[in-house]
Structure 1
Amino acid sequence: MTLTHPATVLLCYCSCPDAASARAIAEALVGERLAACVNRLPAVQSTYRWQGTVTHDSEELLLIKTTAARFDALKARLLELHPYELPELVAVPVERGHTAYLDWVRAGVAG
């Protein structure tokens, strides 16, 4: 496990089964200031093993921008809202980026 500074911007990935659930999750996360922005990418084709069977599904992928300080609250809320039994949630620290944009993300999730 890597420890990051609370102000570190994170890019989180989460797949959803459909546009309606993706939109609801995105609106809740941004509305509750758990994310500054969520991009929704439709028609992502996923192939994965679930309960011993290789499965293929069309999903909507969320790209969620938040900070390390807000991640635990974001995770808890996403798990409450997500329809999957085992939702995907992967967070990657942003090492570099446009400073003004990264500051905007930090301000967007500040309490």
Structure 2
Amino acid sequence: MQTPHDSLVVCCNCPDETSAHLLAQGIITARLAACVNQMAAVKSSYHWHGKIEQMTEVPLMIKTTVAAYPQLEQWLLEHHPYEVPEIIALPIIAGAASYLDWIAKEVNLDQK
């Protein structure tokens, strides 16, 4: 049985719907996550190269395992269009056992 601390939610913003879709499909195809939610566009404000920037971005919410995280991070760094992509992993501290077991079953690094 999977425990909550074996699972992660990884947040990653994308510059547009097309890149978000391509990243989500690539992550699932590579079995680096059980599920990727492509969220509604958001307005982001941030510092970049000494200036304050504002941009519309499309967030991804990626459900994966602690064991798969290093490969997921590397995959995102290789495929993401941003020079410095947001890749933030948040631990799941509680969750339905059946859902956490499903994440563990679907994230299968041996099937790649």
Q: Is the shorter-chain TM-score for this pair beyond 0.5, marking a shared fold?
A: yes
Q: Which residue of 1 aligns with 2:13?
A: 15
CA contact (8 A) 1:35 1:65 kept: yes
CA distance in 2, matches of 1:16, 1:72: 19
CA distance in 2, matches of 1:10, 1:95: 9
Deviation (angstroms), 1:43: 1.4
Secondary structure, counterpart of 2:59 in structure 1: strand
CA distance in 2, matches of 1:43, 1:64: 16
CA contact (8 A) 1:19 1:42 kept: no
Q: Which residue of 2 aligns with 1:66?
A: 64
CA distance in 2, matches of 1:106, 1:51: 39
CA distance in 2, matches of 1:77, 1:43: 23
Aligned residue pairs, count? 106
1:100 is aligned, of 82, 98, 101, to 98
For 1:2-81, what aligned pairs fall within 5 Å after superposition?
8-81=6-79
Secondary structure, counterpart of 1:92 in structure 2: strand
- AA aligned opposite 1:49: H
CA distance in 2, matches of 1:71, 1:43: 25
Secondary structure, counterpart of 2:85 in structure 1: coil
Residue 90, structure 1, aligned to residue 88, structure 2: yes
- AA aligned opposite 1:27: Q
Unaligned segments of structure 2, at least 5 residues: none
Runs of 4+ displaced beyond 4 Å: none
CA distance in 1, matches of 2:7, 2:37: 15
When normalised by structure 1's length, the TM-score is 0.92
Percent identity over the alignment? 43
